[in-house]
Structure 1
Amino acid sequence: MSRWMGEARKRLMGWRRAFQGNIKVGYAGVPATNNASGDRLAHETTPGGSFLKLPEWISSLLSHPFLRSVTLVAGGTAAAQLITIAFSPLITRLYGPEAFGALGIFMAVVSIISPIANLTYGSAIVLPASDSEARALFRLSALIGLSVSLLSAAGIGLFHQTIADAVGFTAASTLLLLVPLSILLSALIEPTNHWLYRRKQFKAISHITVVGAIASNGTRTVTGLFLATAPALIALGILANALELFLLWNSARPTLSRRDTDEGVTGEPAPHVSLKEVAYRYRDFPLFRAPNDWLNVVSNSIPSLLLAALFGPSAAGFYLLARRIVALPITVIAGAVGTVFLPRIVEASHGGERLRPLLMKGTAGLAAVGLIPFGIMMALGPWLFGVVFGAEWTQAGEYARWLALWFYCAFAAVPSAQVIPILGLQGHFLAYEIAVVALRAAALAAGTVIWNSDLAAIILFSLVGALVNLTQITWCLLSCDKRSRDQIRVSGT
């Protein structure tokens, strides 16, 4: 009895000190501590201590830097997607399918060149240990982007009519002269975005995403009331990209244009980093990452082109709508996690931490989160599409059911995709991507030629996609164990 009274007295005194001295209470009146021994002692001496700990645990979870950053990015992306979805019914009714078809072809032409517009040097900006090296990469990316856009301007200027006839661009062929401008904007947006990732300015990225969605959809709606044409859609798309670049640069400029120093150690000017030096050091990006990204764009364009050619535009429309809806969790959640995960794992690499635990946590976390949205789509896809979009879109729900399996695996594979350049696997994955393109094309061909079924083609295509992403995850996890620190490509090695 006396022992119980003593414990109670200790607890009351602890609470009193907490209120008077504004200290944090742990267990048994002991101030909360971050070390394991303090928590263990509290657990052992206080009955029901976990009841007192729960609010602190929740507070700690909510204040975790990584989760807070993910929430910022995901919140902005989710808001932008909701804004776009809310405007979509009105915009599609204002412009009609022909205008959107011309916009789609224009963007397809842009997408052929944009993955290699700056030779993906912009993606490497997050990796260097020093800001001076990252700034050199930014300058290199901008210079290459300007050169590529000028070369494309010369080519399209000479052959715009031929290109329009080849791709079925029914609007005025002179609109293709805007392609180089769109390529230049894309080439500048990527490195500016990655600079903000590097500086962990996730709040700014989130705000820019929302503002861009409001401006883009708002101007399309207002313009559509008076001038609902393909040229208007294309011009507004370019203006939206220009606005995004302006907002990104406005956020990045204070740190990006700062005088290079030795990272705050002595304040002396940092050693000059030449463009030639960083171009050679990060040569894996143009040699392997750029072709890999280009192949990925090509392989993801195959279904639309093949379905339209063999089964008509309706099949291509079903695929595009199904893919857009199924991809939402990747756009909103996994994209945000990947944005925050990349700087974190780069820091871990520089700090000598083991990468495999981080990769496993990220992969397992996304796999758990993805079970709900993708599971619902697998189970109820046709019914959901019929109810939301109308009975004529039920077949798109059948597509979505199988695409959800592929996108679930892609959802979980986002962290492994981010770690590929850090592990120095870009060369291997270029060869792997070539094989993937062949497998995806073979799956679609088998479904269309052997079974003469659009759904069979989608099923096989999705199964191949799921297998590809599971292989990627396994490969990266094994590489984290097999590769030593001197094999990991980081700045300064």
Structure 2
Amino acid sequence: MIAPIPERRPLLGRPPRRRLRSSGVSPPGRAAVWIDRLRGHAFLRGVAVVVGGTAAAQLITLAFSPLITRLYGPEIFGVQGIFLAAVGLVLPFANLAYGASIVLPATDNEARALFRLSVLISLAVTALSTLVFGIFHRDIAEAIGFTAPSQLLWLAPVTILVIAVAQPFHHWLARKKQFGALSRISVAEATIVGGAKTAVGFVAATAPVLLASVALAGLLKLALLWTSARDTLVPGKRADQDPPVPLRDVAYRYRDFPLFRAPHDWLNGLSHNIPSLMLAALVGPVAAGFYVLSYRVVSLPITVISAAVGTVFLPRIAEASHRSERLRPLLLKGTAALAAVGLLPFGIMIAFAPWLFSLVFGVEWTAAGDYARWLSLWFYIVFIGSPAYQAIPILGLQGHLLAYEIVVLALRTSALAVGAFVYQDGTVAVALFAVVGMLVNISQIGWCIFSCDRRLRSGI
């Protein structure tokens, strides 16, 4: 019997190449291969879904903007900016930041307890803010430079409530990885609100209309969030259902959120909103309107991409922490990827913002383009810092972050005051404000990356 001839192998140990049989079907192209990889990668797939929905929503908002800016004008936009700044002074304490902790627990029962706690606190804070704005609306309007009728500030508690309650819904859907629902909600909200503002603006382009649209947009978003979350949020009626977790237990376990995260968010929001208040008081509501529009446009990449990455990244890094994985590689990859993606949009704004604003929004908004050019320097760093910021509660750095934010607020406010008081020029004030913001955010990113794998939050 003749022994079979052994198969010859290449000298370098590589397996022999096999010729593809001609079956009339061409091999898949690179695009198809990348699509298959994307479908098989849960994190990238989640980012793609959120980015797609958020991008569509922002493009819809941007499509309505040329009409809305021409209908309402810089002064009314300034009034809206002052109103939102006043809301922003209360909002970080509306649920004591417990809503942001919902993605962290290992069990859904504990997360549901945090949800209930967030809603109850939101109702209590709204009741208190209703009392304050109802009694002192004239004094508040005078203090913040609100030039519209002070009774419009009664809309502030409604806005606070819907935004505060929407936050735990948003984080619950992120926890359950229902990123498609979040995307659909963003698109629906942008379409309905933008269309309503434009349609009503042709009839009555006034400050009350614009402020009422802010509250109505929050109510619409809250209704859509509830519709998407109720099936998973309400536990089933099984006989073996685990008992609810006491609110006192989760309040204590996640006490670093009200103690450190909420004050930090308040200080951070104040540092972002204080330009509207100071420019309105020292330069005028028109300058505040320029800042509001430039802030909105420049923050689009953050809203579309960076925030979407953060929405998906926080559950991912929480899971990595549960499994005791190294966190620094995750942060470095996320930061480097955003640094590459952000070069194009922010580079365009730095180079062409005044011309673009004049072309898209009208000649009267050219000065807002100068604001946007400087804000782009700062927001590029904010853009790439989303993974580092999301990792802060996992690293147990919220107490340090609060002290850091106090220093940052003092530096930003001082820079803004120099531009407004000394130079009495809105562009100079925004430029100094942005440069200081850029430098401190660079330090925050480096600090978080350096702290990885040294300070892990225990018990998550």
Fold shared, TM-score > 0.5 on shorter chain: yes
- Distance, in Å, in 2 between the alignment partners of 1:239 and 1:141 is 21
- Residue 81 of structure 1 aligns to a residue in which SS? helix
Q: What residue in structure 1 maps to residue 369 of structure 2?
A: 397
Check the 8 A contact 1:131/1:260 in 2, yes or no: no
- Residue 396 of structure 2 aligns to a residue in which SS? coil
Counterpart pick for 2:292 among 311, 320, 327: 320
Counterpart pick for 2:216 among 239, 243, 267: 239
5 Å-filtered alignment, 1:13-52, equals 15=21
Q: What residue in structure 2 maps to residue 460 of structure 1?
A: 432
1:371 CA drift (Å):
1.2
5 Å-filtered alignment, 1:62-81, equals 62-63=38-39, 64-81=41-58
5 Å-filtered alignment, 1:200-211, equals 200-211=177-188
Greater radius of gyration (CA): 1
Q: Which amino acid aligns with 1:471?
A: S
1:257 CA drift (Å):
0.1
- Residue 258 of structure 1 aligns to a residue in which SS? coil
Matched, 1:488 2:460: no
C-alpha root-mean-square deviation of aligned residues, in Å? 3.0
1:163 CA drift (Å):
2.5
1:454 CA drift (Å):
4.0
5 Å-filtered alignment, 1:301-450, equals 301-449=273-421
- Distance, in Å, in 2 between the alignment partners of 1:399 and 1:338 is 26
1:282 CA drift (Å):
0.3
- Distance, in Å, in 2 between the alignment partners of 1:437 and 1:373 is 27
1:376 CA drift (Å):
2.3
**Superposed CA offset, 1:62-105 (max 9, x none):** 32222221121111111111111222233344445555444433
1:430 CA drift (Å):
0.4
- Distance, in Å, in 1 between the alignment partners of 2:149 and 2:117 is 35
1:108 CA drift (Å):
2.7
Q: What residue in structure 1 maps to residue 192 of structure 2?
A: 215
- Residue 200 of structure 1 aligns to a residue in which SS? coil
Q: Mean Cα displacement is larger for which, 197-206 or 345-354? A: 345-354
**Superposed CA offset, 1:112-156 (max 9, x none):** 111110001000000000000000000000110011111112222
- Per chain length, whose mean CA-contact separation is higher, i.e. which structure has more relative contact order (CA < 8 Å, sep 6+)? 2
Number of matched pairs:
450
Q: Which amino acid aligns with 1:82?
A: L
Q: What residue in structure 2 maps to residue 273 of structure 1?
A: 245
- Distance, in Å, in 1 between the alignment partners of 2:194 and 2:282 is 33
**Superposed CA offset, 1:235-268 (max 9, x none):** 333222111111101111111002388xxxxx83
Check the 8 A contact 2:78/2:289 in 1, yes or no: no
Matched, 1:143 2:120: yes
Check the 8 A contact 1:129/1:490 in 2, yes or no: no
- Distance, in Å, in 1 between the alignment partners of 2:422 and 2:84 is 32
Change (3 A) 1:489 1:197: farther
Change (3 A) 1:437 1:183: same
- Residue 422 of structure 1 aligns to a residue in which SS? helix
- Residue 321 of structure 2 aligns to a residue in which SS? helix
What TM-score comes out, normalization by structure 2 length? 0.89
- Distance, in Å, in 2 between the alignment partners of 1:232 and 1:153 is 20
Counterpart pick for 1:115 among 63, 81, 92: 92
Check the 8 A contact 2:50/2:182 in 1, yes or no: yes
- Residue 395 of structure 2 aligns to a residue in which SS? coil
The answer for unaligned runs of 5 or more in structure 1 is: 26-51, 262-266
1:204 CA drift (Å):
0.3
- Distance, in Å, in 2 between the alignment partners of 1:225 and 1:214 is 17
1:344 CA drift (Å):
0.8
Change (3 A) 1:372 1:196: same
- Distance, in Å, in 2 between the alignment partners of 1:283 and 1:84 is 37
Change (3 A) 1:284 1:151: same
Q: What residue in structure 1 maps to residue 4 of structure 2?
A: none
Q: What residue in structure 1 maps to residue 269 of structure 2?
A: 297
Matched, 1:192 2:191: no
Q: What residue in structure 1 maps to residue 157 of structure 2?
A: 180
What TM-score comes out, normalization by structure 1 length? 0.83
Identity level (%): 59
Q: Mean Cα displacement is larger for which, 394-403 or 130-139? A: 394-403
Counterpart pick for 2:66 among 55, 67, 89: 89
Change (3 A) 1:314 1:157: closer
1:444 CA drift (Å):
2.1
Change (3 A) 1:446 1:408: same
Q: Which amino acid aligns with 1:143?
A: L
**Superposed CA offset, 1:21-73 (max 9, x none):** x9xx9xxxxxxxxxxxxxxxxxxxxxxxxxx8946742343322222211211
Check the 8 A contact 2:290/2:367 in 1, yes or no: yes
- Distance, in Å, in 1 between the alignment partners of 2:370 and 2:86 is 29
